[in-house]
Chain A
Amino acid sequence: MPTLRPILLAEDNPNDVELIVTALKEARLANEIVIANDGAQALDFLYRRGDHAGRTTAQPAVILLDLKMPKVDGGEVLRQIRSDPNLKELPVVVLTSSREESDLLQSYEHGVNAYVVKPVDFEEFTSAVAKLGFFWALLNELPPEKVPGV
């Protein structure tokens, strides 16, 4: 069985963080869940710099990205990921409250893998998150990891 890659969750609202983490745990996913509270932290993690300098763990199996975050927002994070040759293959799922067409269009234009609107209903929400986690972390095949620095 290959080594489990972490799940990166970029979400500024701590309540949403708690709900999502709980849902993922309920789905019995063993992957480590890394929290970034804004876009800058998320990028620091991916680039192994700042607080995450010298990180040796693998790149995440999936990035759950909220759009509205302070400092660097989700759209900007997505753009940077997709324009970096070392990161562009990482799966990104936008997980947001907004169903606005403009957000959808922009996200897809920047090459998001999936766009999921957080349902208000808790059951639906849990189920959606669990399915996401299961699919991206376990079922989906990822391209082989690029050695950092190469």
Chain B
Amino acid sequence: MFFSLERKIVLAFGITLAALGIMVGGAWFSLTRFHSTFEWVDHTHKVLYELEALLNRIQGVQIESQRYLISGDPACLDRWTRNRGLAHESFERLSSLTADNPAQTERVRQMLPLIEQTETLTRERHELRQQAGGQAAMAEASRGRVRTVVDDLTTRVQAAENDERALLASRTAVAQRAATLTLTLTILSSLLAASLAGIGLFLAIRDLNARHKAEAELDRFFTLTHDLLCIADFSGHFTRLNPAWTETFGFATEELMAKPYLDFVHPDDRERTQAQAARQAQGLEATSFENRYLCKDGTYRWLQWNARPVVPDRVIFATARDVTDRKRVEQIHLQFRSLFESLPGLYLVLTPRFKIVAVSDAYVKSAMTTRAALLEQDLFEAFPDNPDDSAATGVVNLRASLERVLETGATDTMAVQKYDVRRPDGTYEERFWSPINSPVFGADRQVEYIIHRVEDVTDFVRQKTREGAVPDLQSRLNLMEAEIFKNSHQLQAANQQLQAVNGELEAFSYSVSHDLRAPLRHIDGFANLLTKHAAGSFDEKSRRYVEVISEAARKMGRLIDDLLSFSRMGRVQMKHSLVDQNDLVASVIRDGRFDRPERPIEWHIAPLPTVSGDAALLRQVWSNLIGNAVKYSGRVPAPRIEIGTQPAATPGEQVFFIRDNGAGFDMRYVEKLFGVFQRLHSEAEFEGTGIGLANVRRIVTRHRGRVWAEGSPEAGAVFYFSLPVPDHAPANS
């Protein structure tokens, strides 16, 4: 707000005082005005009185004179003189009274000659009486000269009186106007002052309310927060605590404030806390100071402090946070780290960027270096290849292995590596290692760390390369192990070669599938066109010849398809999962639509166990076997097909069978049954290329199972295949 609360209050008071001042001033002003009005009234009355008095006295003069004229009494003369004197007195007083008003002054001045004339005339009459007697005087008097003067005077006096009254009226009016003005001003200024004061008061009250609200809010925060808030004084006591203290420590607020706060600090932390308090008394702020405080139940909790002293007031304002849990986690971290480092094996922990973040003591020793030299280093900068060995493959192989771990998320075992180690003096020592790299997954299921574990097999390898006698069993054993280690290297190379060959085979079969089919299609196509074109001119034989050509082309097409699919069976990546055989068999039968209305098949299907394998490939197996069973029962009036399991000869296997009552086969040729393109029946008897069972055998073999069969001519056949029980199934093939 523009003005602070204090200013507003001062302003309100100021305005009120100013208003009061105005009112007082106005009142004073009015009063003086009224006062002068009273004076004026007084003055006017005095003037009027004197005018009357004057007139009276002059009339007295006149009357006494007349009396004298009539009576000749000297007492009248005395009174005449007295009146005359008094008239003069009145005149004098009048003159001074009207001195302020020029008009009145003039008027009064003009009365003087008349007054004197009256005196003179009456005196003349007196003298006349004294000299000529009363009658003569009376005759003179009847001329009325005195009366004229007196009348004139009377008129003037009345005029003066009127004037004086008029003056009074006007002065009164002026005074009244002044009073009205003053009153109006006073009222207006009062109103203005009142409203300004009122506004000021309103704003001040609003400010006060806002302040109250803010205080209430702060108060609420203070009470609600789980953080520990407090005020402490320099004497070492708490002076104010929020409820969070009681919640955290169990002591009541009064208990905490009753004793010095050091009493609640852990004995080991007291010295530090005191030192900290001393620093704060000098005005230093404290952030992130930690110490332990006692709980009511006797345990201690770690607090992290932020404190700010206010030195002039000799208090400290502080907040503290309970960091006991974080401390505990930190301690666990430290414990695990020392545990890891003391492990007997040679371990490195790497980030996905191959930075070393932890290393076991044994590894440090074996690498002839220090932990400090390894931590936070890039793996390959810390362990470069031996520069003198131009055929060194350690770095490139290790890097490849680590990349594989990152890509597949699986452990990668490396073949024995020659990876020379640098001695402290800079020379290199020949070493052989057997490394295993495994991933550690983070919360987001991504590889967070890689653990690189090695075994130093230098001695074994050296032993292997040493020609000559191997005296005892132990050394022979060592020798064989070394042999294995060395061969794994070759195995890896062979694996890579195999993958390359597979790729070539893939390209080959693609080419075959595309390029071989086209000419076949043309053969069949044009053979047909030829027949159509010739139509009439072809005889039976010609037509038959052409048909043979077509059929041969078609047959070749089928052979190509079968060959391609057989090849694919062997190459395709197996995807292992748990396969419900019941669902699979039911689906194959349903999709095969083997049942014909005129020749329904009697199915006997026992419940089949779930197996571990590639669902698509297993489907092929069942499809081929069931398809064969149906096909070879084609000539039997009541075909019967039975599917089930039977107990296994070897443990860890499950055996499945499918029995039909169809054409069967001669057991003498059972070896050929599963061969590629081998058939025991002619194409005329039953169609087919002879690839189906070869596929079955190939798939079952890839599942680590076996196939075999029994049969007799015209009496049906049974085909068996085994699959490993799920527990024993390998993760990858």
Contact = CB atoms under 8 A, between A and B. Distances in A.
Contacts, number: 59
Contact of B528 (A16, A96, A122): A122
13 contacts: A15-B522, A15-B526, A16-B522, A19-B522, A19-B525, A22-B529, A100-B510, A118-B517, A118-B521, A120-B556, A121-B557, A122-B527, A125-B521
Contacts of A98: 510, 513-514
A135 B553 CA distance: 29
Interface residues of B, number: 20
B523 to A, nearest CB: 8
A68 B514 contact: yes
A113 interface: no
Contacts of B553: 120
A13 interface: yes
B513 A120 contact: no
A70 interface: no
Interface string B530-562: 000000000000000000001001101100000
B372 interface: no
B512 to A, nearest CB: 10
Given A22-B529, A97-B518, 20 more contacts: A19-B521, A19-B522, A19-B526, A68-B514, A97-B513, A97-B515, A97-B521, A98-B514, A102-B510, A119-B521, A120-B517, A120-B520, A120-B556, A120-B557, A121-B524, A122-B529, A122-B550, A123-B528, A125-B524, A126-B528
A118 B525 CA distance: 11
B513 A122 contact: no
A97 B561 CA distance: 11
Contacts of A121: 524, 554, 557
A114 to B, nearest CB: 18
Contacts of B528: 122-123, 126
Contacts of B517: 97, 118, 120
Nearest to B517: A97
A49 interface: no
Most buried by B among A13, A98, A119, A122: A122
Contacts of A96: 514
Contacts of B526: 15, 19
B626 to A, nearest CB: 24
Contacts of A97: 513-515, 517-518, 521
A57 B16 CA distance: 101
B510 A120 contact: no
Nearest to B509: A100
A99 interface: yes
Contacts of A123: 528
A119 B553 CA distance: 11
Given A13-B518, A16-B518, A97-B518, A122 B524 contact: yes
Interface string B296-340: 000000000000000000000000000000000000000000000
B6 to A, nearest CB: 75
Contact of B525 (A15, A68, A99, A102): A15
A122 B514 contact: no
Most buried by A among B521, B527, B553, B557: B521
A16 B517 CA distance: 11
Given A16-B518, A120-B557, A100 B513 contact: yes
